[in-house]
Structure 1
Amino acid sequence: MKYVCKKDCYVKNPQGRLQLFKVGMSVDYAAGAEVAEHFELADGEKGKAEAKKKTVRSRKKEAEDK
């Protein structure tokens, strides 16, 4: 999933090495990877994350109905 850095920092990149990220830089992390708190989902990825949440909720509701 694509994340955008919100402050200048040194954080481990997806390859596990420390990297300098400047404000506004984007990076792709695997789903479920640990990401620094100040990183936010990129605009295009927000819709995907919300869609995944909705499918999980609907599955829970289906299980409850049965």
Structure 2
Amino acid sequence: MIQDSDCRIGVPFIPIPAEKIAAIVITQSSDSASTVEPPDAETNAIAGHLSATAIMPHKATVVPIAH
């Protein structure tokens, strides 16, 4: 039963089958911060589709991405 803010359910990791692990890299290097770029036309289009799906999921359509 969860009664306090420090109570947790589940596991503190994402379970992954061992056969899916190719390597474990141990390093002392720090993580680098990701650079966040301003949204471009493609990012705005994705956001628009997500917003439309959240508002009217019954009218959502799948739009193929051209490569």
Q: Shared fold by TM > 0.5?
A: no
| Greater relative CO, 1 or 2 (CA 8 Å, sep 6+) | 1
Larger Cα Rg: Structure 1 or Structure 2? 2
Q: How does the TM-score come out when normalised to structure 1?
A: 0.30
Structure with greater proportional strand content:
1
Q: How does the TM-score come out when normalised to structure 2?
A: 0.30
